[in-house]
Amino acid sequence: MVEGEDDSGMNKMKNFKRRFSLSVPRTETIEENEFTEQINQLNLRRNEGKGTLNQTSLISLSQPISPSQAEPGQLASEPQARSPTQLQYHNRVQQRRFSMEDVSKQMSLPMDIRLPPEILKKLQMQSPEPCKPLSRMSRRASLSDIGFGKLETYVKLGKLGEGTYATVFKGRSKLTENLVALKEIRLEHEEGAPCTAIREVSLLKNLKHANIVTLHDIIHTDRCLTLVFEYLDSDLKQYLDNCRNIMSMSNVKVFMFQLLRGLAGELKLADFGLARAKSVPTKTYSNEVVTLWYRPPDVLLGSTEYSTPIDMWGVGCILYEMATGRPLFPGSTVKEELHLIFRLMGTPTEETCPGITANEEFRSYLFPQYRAQALINHVPRLDTEGIDLLTTLLLYDTRKRISAEASLRHAYFLSLGEDIHSIPDTASVFSLKDIQLQKDPGHRSSVFHPPGRGKNRRQSVF
């Protein structure tokens, strides 16, 4: 890693770096002795009884491989690139040996964990000179001392769910006494670490927003990776089930606002580092079928351009689902999905969807010419502004489809007040006094405690 020099350009870059990365790979040499010891222990633990790769010294195999056996260049149908600096290299080669200490010093612990305010306070109190900021090293050591990155810190309370790659447990952090969700990902699979796990961790590391589930800690044990998330009472589906699909319309509005806040502006695929992964496959890597219910017609008809309007169609579908208690277009095949969409929204024409008549796929389906139906007849509980928002979310023309930013300013949300637009990204909308969840008409229990009213709790539906 380069540390910027004192020129202002570099500093500017660094500031941006700060804004954008919640975790920077720490690869600087760690100097503190006490910390080296800790790391050596970690190293020992990792090496115990497994692995042919010896990590404390060189990564090397016990059996040297003869060059003829594993010569890179087996496939080299192309000539090898020649370097203009090749000659210099010969002279520079030095057979430097590293002590075990050198190498183990280079290890670093995950740094992108977030300390809860209580712990921060505690750390500040322990600091001998409260005015002086803790050095990076002492803070890092403290973090591990107080139990971050350690499985013992979390108590498993019960299983919440199980998937192909991961099991999710409800848990409690001994540090904060907060409830957490522990997602255990098994790294041993036929094809090594599952790509879903690799992506999930890599993406979540870059995200911090009140309406996106927060990753608190990552623990690596033997052959398992445990992600520690904030604990959410339920997702939208469970929530809907729980209120027997009859949600208070005022809650629908609050949830909609939260969803759009999560999508607005700062949440782009680029944040996930997937700026160029533009294909939207119908099947996942593991060949599971991805739900089609929230896909816009442009994607169903083969568009591979990922941009934000794609998400906005899905938001429209969710608004409908919250207001009516049932999914809007529950198709099980691409054709059925398109059929359901066209039957309600009208078969697209050159006027409603420029370029559609030239779309080969669309033409091949030979859909009947449906006329658009009035949405109000299908979502009677939604008010006029809500119907208008829904209509602009479900436009065929991606250029006319409303954006997340614009929809936050839609008349539908006027009743939430003006203050809701000025709260910081990381604060919940429930930090405003006026924003409260209402009792849902269909809710099973007699008293409904709106979640997320605690000081440090965030509310998120998704």
Partner 1 sequence: MDACPSPEGDDSGFEEDFQSPSPSNFFTIPWSVNLNNRLIADHHEVIYDESCFIIQKNNEEEFLALNCLARQPQITAEARCKLVSWLIAVYKHFKLSFESCCLAVNIMDRFLVTTSVAADCFQLLGVTSLLIATKHVEVCSPRIKQLLSLCCNAFSKEQLCNLECLILLRLNFRLAAPTLAFFLDYLVSQELSWHRVGGKDDNFTDLYEVKNDDDWTATEEDQLSRVEKYKYFACKICELSLADYAFNKYQPSVIVQSAIILAKDHFRKPASFKHTSSSEMADLLCTADHNSINYSLIQQCTEDLRLLVSLNLESLQDLKAL
- The verdict on 357 binding partner 1 (CB under 8 A) reads no
Lookup result for tokens 């991805």:
290
Lookup result for tokens 């009516």:
324
φ and ψ at 220, to 5 degrees? -110, 115
Q: Which of 6, 48, 83, 371 binds partner 1 (CB under 8 A)?
A: 83
Q: Which of positions 277-306 make contact with partner 1 (CB under 8 A)? A: 277, 279, 281, 285, 305
- The verdict on 220 binding partner 1 (CB under 8 A) reads yes
Name every residue whose Cβ is closer than 8 Å to that of residue 307 and which is 6 or more positions away in sequence. Answer: 398
**Distance, CA of 303 to CA of 417 (rounded, Å):** 38
- The verdict on 99 binding partner 1 (CB under 8 A) reads no
Instruction: Reduce the DSSP state of residue 159 to 3 states and report it.
Output: strand
Shortest Å, Cβ 285 to partner 1: 6
- The verdict on 89 binding partner 1 (CB under 8 A) reads yes
Shortest Å, Cβ 452 to partner 1: 18
Q: Which of 36, 40, 43, 108 binds partner 1 (CB under 8 A)?
A: 108
Beta-ladder partners of 283:
289
- The verdict on 110 binding partner 1 (CB under 8 A) reads yes
Name every residue whose Cβ is closer than 8 Å to that of residue 63 and which is 6 or more positions away in sequence. Answer: none
- 10 Å CB burial of residue 124 (0-12, 13-18, 19+) is exposed
- Alpha carbon dihedral 352, 358, 363, 368, in 10-degree steps, equals 20
Does an H or E element contain 172, and which?
Answer: strand 166-173
Shortest Å, Cβ 260 to partner 1: 14
Shortest Å, Cβ 326 to partner 1: 30
Instruction: Specify the length of the chain in residues.
Output: 462
Name every residue whose Cβ is closer than 8 Å to that of residue 372 and which is 6 or more positions away in sequence. Answer: 344, 345, 346
Q: Which of 31, 33, 93, 131 binds partner 1 (CB under 8 A)?
A: 93
Shortest Å, Cβ 29 to partner 1: 10
Nearer to partner 1, 273 or 441 (CB): 273
Q: Which of 177, 191, 288, 351 binds partner 1 (CB under 8 A)?
A: 191
Q: Which of positions 57-76 make contact with partner 1 (CB under 8 A)? A: 57-61, 64-65, 69-70, 72-76
**Distance, CA of 347 to CA of 332 (rounded, Å):** 19
Nearer to partner 1, 53 or 155 (CB): 53
Shortest Å, Cβ 149 to partner 1: 11
Nearer to partner 1, 33 or 86 (CB): 86
Closest by alpha carbon to 223, among 199, 193, 197, 190? 193
- The verdict on 144 binding partner 1 (CB under 8 A) reads no
Q: Which of positions 24-43 make contact with partner 1 (CB under 8 A)? A: 24-27
- The verdict on 172 binding partner 1 (CB under 8 A) reads no
> Which regions of 207-358 does DSSP assign to beta strands (E)?
215-221, 224-230
- The verdict on 45 binding partner 1 (CB under 8 A) reads no
- The verdict on 455 binding partner 1 (CB under 8 A) reads no
Q: Which of positions 359-398 make contact with partner 1 (CB under 8 A)? A: 398
**Distance, CA of 238 to CA of 209 (rounded, Å):** 22
φ and ψ at 175, to 5 degrees? -75, -45
Size of the site for partner 1 (CB under 8 A): 122
Q: Which of 193, 376, 420, 432 binds partner 1 (CB under 8 A)?
A: 193
Q: Which of 146, 246, 269, 301 binds partner 1 (CB under 8 A)?
A: 269
Nearer to partner 1, 99 or 377 (CB): 99
Parallel, antiparallel, or unpaired for β 166-173 and 224-230?
unpaired
Give the C-alpha distances (Å, rounded to integers) separating 239 from 167, 248, 313.
21, 12, 22
Shortest Å, Cβ 303 to partner 1: 11
150 marked ligand binding residue:
no
- The verdict on 202 binding partner 1 (CB under 8 A) reads yes
As given in the structure block, the two tokens for residue 82 are 């020649």
Shortest Å, Cβ 191 to partner 1: 6
- The verdict on 424 binding partner 1 (CB under 8 A) reads yes
**Distance, CA of 219 to CA of 224 (rounded, Å):** 8
Does an H or E element contain 371, and which?
Answer: none
**Distance, CA of 35 to CA of 215 (rounded, Å):** 25
- The verdict on 131 binding partner 1 (CB under 8 A) reads no
Binding annotation for ATP: 183
Binding annotation: 183
